[in-house]
Structure 1
């Protein structure tokens, strides 16, 4: 059981590192070509909009978490640049 947990944790750490280094992957729908070919016509891929790459799910989760943290963090508000900031009134 401990070995399975360790393997799962290492796989998660590896995927997190991959999302940090390479946030984009080839589109699975068009195989990275940017176009879809049906019987007679060639159209732009609807999933990647012809850009050939998609944002990884893990990177999307990291970006969402960062945005939520940034929105919930209070920033010190300074009235004048000359005054020093004190956290109490």
Structure 2
């Protein structure tokens, strides 16, 4: 009888070691979505606000890479060789 009372008192107190080991998830379920669902880049290509974060990062990096490459090619100072030599046609 005394052991039941001790067990009941230990279970009801919030400072018992057993009460601290019990995990309580509360409202941390995975089914609670906050906002619209994120989609893949190719499913909604004209709306970047709905893309998944990793797809947005990849698209942004590709865009900036293209811009930096284009600007570096534009301002690199390399001159194209525009001289053309006339090739004599073979005599028949």
TM-score, structure 2 length as denominator? Answer: 0.29
Greater fraction helix: 2
Please give the TM-score of this superposition, normalised by the length of structure 1. 0.30
Q: Which has the larger radius of gyration?
A: 2
> Relative contact order (C-alpha < 8 Å, sep 6+): which is higher?
1
Give the structure with the higher percent strand. Answer: 1
